A and B are shown apart, each in its own frame.
Chain A
Amino acid sequence: MRIVIASGKGGTGKTLIATNLAWMLAEVGVDTTYVDADVEAPNGHLFLPPTEVTTSRFSSPLPTLKEATCSGCGECQRFCAFHAIIATTDKVLVFPELCHACGGCLDACPDNALEERPRESGTLLRGESGRIHFRSGSLDVGEPRSTPIIETLIAETPDTGVVVVDSPPGTSCSAVAAMKGADQVVLVTEPTPFGLHDLQLAVELCRKMGCSPSVIVNRSDLGDTQVQRYLEAQSIPVLAQIPFDRTLSDIYARSELAAPTHEPLRQALRKIISTVLTNSIGGKAA
């Protein structure tokens, strides 16, 4: 079972929930894998430091001109919906940051002048953090496309036990890649106008992907009541309300897990686990 911890807004508490949830699951004997899919700013390792670490470089295929077989017809350029390839009679220019590695230009080329060569854009990491299987990816600095590495990260996670995915924030391609195929999407939000705005976007995205998300309201006693009213109006299940607590912030700021010592969080996580594991609230994200 794959549970994706996502949010619209950044800084709502995805990593707090994801790391502590993984720890609690492992604590009660569940075979647990934690996946840090926030490849542009991974920090799950601060809370679940992995040992027995192995890393591998990640690469995706990039079209490249083979020697002197191009007639300069421009079919590749016309085919590419992302305008990632520019062709002239003597040169083919590929923009790696625009290329989605679909391979379509190779098919479009009547001269068989293109081939794909691997291009590195990040690093994949595997390890063990106590009883938790730890996976993360990190995108190289300057690389704009995070989806391929996230997709690979997700595809390579085991099908056994429970997989907790710490999603990147937002509702763009990277969040979509992290949510795809999830059994459960849990959105972490906060009761502020910003939280509400981005929560609405995230809910919309989940619904477009064919799944019904559930929500955790973090710092639930701050802000206003708009998030609460929205969730009620939309009949979105609330898994837990976590009130603001300075002690919890302090633990988090020391990059420590809170679940082992913080009873209110522990209780909230227990409730989340029992609901998520016993109850199939949402459909599978398409």
Chain B
Amino acid sequence: MAQKIAITVQRAGTLDELMDSRFGRAPAFLLVEGDGPQVTQLDNPATTAAHGAGTASAAAMADHGVHAVISGRFGPKAFEALKTLGVEMWTAPSGLTAAEALAKFREGTLTRMAVEEFR
């Protein structure tokens, strides 16, 4: 089965939308399967949550069978949750569109978050 990639975006739309640099509180996710052009939009209900946005978003990733997430930053609780759920975290510089971030991911030029860099 093709691997599913999620990219945090500032609003639901096409891959031309700007990536959102926050994982837990991004307004939406774009889901892409393997190399395919098909894009699924996923609104993030946790974007305005008072607490627990990171873990809620992490759970949503697992529910949708996401293999790897591309975002700008992952909070400490999101990091723990995604790590536990076995979802890879990749960080891309801000200012990129979702398509650009995805291209860099496919080229292998993004950084994978494997240690708690924020601590």
Chain A residues close to B by CB (< 8 Å):
77, 82-84, 86, 88, 91, 93, 95, 97-98
Chain B, Cβ-Cβ closest to A144: B51
Q: Are A84 and B55 within 8 A (Cβ)?
A: yes
Of B9-17, B80-88, B104-112, the segment with at least 4 beta carbons within 8 Å of chain A is B80-88
B52 an interface residue at 8 Å Cβ cutoff?
Answer: yes
Which residues of the partner chain B approach A83 to less than 8 Å between Cβ atoms?
46, 49, 52-53, 55-56, 59
Q: Which residues of A contact B56 (CB under 8 A)?
A: 83
User: Other than the known A83-B56, A86-B81, A93-B81, what 14 A-B pairs have Cβ atoms closer than 8 Å?
Assistant: A77-B59, A83-B46, A83-B49, A86-B58, A88-B84, A88-B85, A88-B86, A91-B84, A93-B84, A95-B52, A95-B80, A97-B77, A98-B51, A98-B52
**Residues on the A chain within 8 Å of B62, using CB:** 88
Interface centre among B56, B58, B62 (most CB of A within 10 A): B56
Please report the C-alpha to C-alpha distance between residue A98 and residue B59 in the assembled complex, in whole angstroms: 14
Partner of A95, one of B49, B77, B85, B86: B77
Min C-beta distance of B30 to chain A, whole Å: 22
Secondary structure at the A interface, as helix, strand, loop or mixed, is loop
Task: Mark contacts of B36-77 with chain A using CB atoms, 8 A cut-off: 1 yes-contact digit, 0 otherwise.
Answer: 000000000010010111011011001000000000000001
Chain B residues with Cβ below 8 Å from A93 are 80-81, 84
Nearest chain B residue, comparing its CB with the CB of A172: B50
Whether A86 lies near B86 (C-beta < 8 A) is: no
Query: Interface residue tally of chain B, by bracket?
Result: 10 to 19
| Residues of B that sit less than 8 Å from A by CB | 46, 49, 51-53, 55-56, 58-59, 62, 77, 80-81, 84-86
How near does chain A come to B103, taking the closest CB pair, in angstroms?
31
Residues of A with C-beta under 8 A to B77: 95, 97-98
Nearest CB of chain A from residue B85's CB, rounded to whole Å: 6
Measured between C-beta atoms, what is the minimum distance from A173 to chain B in Å?
9
B55 near A95 (CB under 8 angstroms)?
yes
Give Cα distance in the complex from A84 to B52, angstroms. Answer: 7
Contact residue among A82, A86, A88 (Cβ-Cβ distance under 8 Å from B51): A82
Distance between Cα atoms of A91 and B83 in the complex (Å):
11
Residues of B with C-beta under 8 A to A97: 77
The chain A residue with its CB closest to the CB of B51 is A98
- Chain B residues with Cβ below 8 Å from A98 are 51-52, 55, 77
Assembly CA distance A97 to B55 (angstroms): 12
In whole angstroms, what is the CA distance A77 to B51 when docked?
A: 15
15 CB < 8 A contacts A-B: A77-B59, A83-B49, A84-B52, A88-B62, A88-B84, A88-B86, A93-B80, A93-B81, A93-B84, A95-B52, A95-B55, A95-B77, A98-B51, A98-B55, A98-B77
Contacts of A86 in B (CB 8 A): 55, 58-59, 80-81, 84-85
Q: Chain A nearest CB: distance from B108 CB in Å? A: 27
Q: Shortest beta-carbon distance, A74 to chain B, in Å?
A: 8
Query: In the complex the two chains form, what is the Cα distance from A197 to B13 in whole Å?
Result: 38
Find the A residue at minimum CB distance from B54.
A83
Assembly CA distance A95 to B51 (angstroms): 11
